Amino acid sequence: MTDYSAIKTTLLDKQKELSDRLQADQAPEEPKDELGLDESAQRWEASEIKNGLDDEAAQELNQVNEALARLDADEYGYCKSCGNQIGSARLEAMPFATLCIDCAESAEDNADLEAFDPNEY
């Protein structure tokens, strides 16, 4: 059995980093009363951008959590699609990859596939 302890550490670090980031963003907002209209508009735009980043972080956190669950279940490192072992180089580059390189490539060819993930390569 392959030793994934280094990858597990990476995933746990990532999990902490992402949940810290998401929690920090949930801090109560400052009162808006003192802001002029222009400033409010600018702030609104900034928060739109931030929400986009939060979505990305939340999505990544899901992937990290899933990878950790697969590690605990001894399912980690196997392709979700064909069941072959995912190369260790690929896992090091992308610890939460769930598809082997072959399946990821065919997923990219088929954008309709539900499992398609632009982060896979």
What is the nearest approach in angstroms of Zn ion to the Cβ of residue 56? 25
Cβ atoms of residues 86 and 99 within 8 Å: yes
- 90, 67 contact by CB (below 8 A): no
Q: What is the closest distance, in whole angstroms, from the C-beta atom of residue 79 to Zn ion in the complex?
A: 3
* Beta carbon nearer to Zn ion, 41 or 82: 82
Which residues of the shown chain bind Zn ion in the complex (CB under 5 A)? 79, 81-82, 100, 103
Residue pair 68/15 in contact by the 8 Å Cβ criterion: yes
Instruction: Read off the tokens for 42.
Output: 């600018």
Which residue's CB is nearer to Zn ion, number 57 or number 79?
Answer: 79
Q: How far is the CB of 82 from Zn ion (least distance, A)?
A: 3
78: which strand partners? 85
Closer to Zn ion by Cβ: residue 59 or 106: 106
Q: Nearest 5°: phi and psi at 95?
A: -60, -20
